Structure 1
Amino acid sequence: MALTTADFRRMIAETRGAVVPSSAPMTVPDRVPHRFAPGSGMSARCDDGPARTIEIVLVPATRPPGRGWLGGLATLAKVLALPVLLAAGLYAKPVYECHKQKGHGMLYYGTTVTMCVNERMAGHVGSVQAFLDSRMRGM
Structure 2
Amino acid sequence: MEERSTQELENALSRADEIEDVLDFDENTLSDVTVAEYLNQLLQEHNLKKNDIINASCIDQAYAYHIFSGDKKQPGRAKLLALSIAMKLSRVETEHLLYYGRVNKLYAKNNWDKVIIYALNKKLSVERTNCILSDLSLTPLLG
Q: How does the TM-score come out when normalised to structure 1?
A: 0.24
**Which has more radius of gyration?**
1
Q: How does the TM-score come out when normalised to structure 2?
A: 0.23
Greater percentage in helix: 2
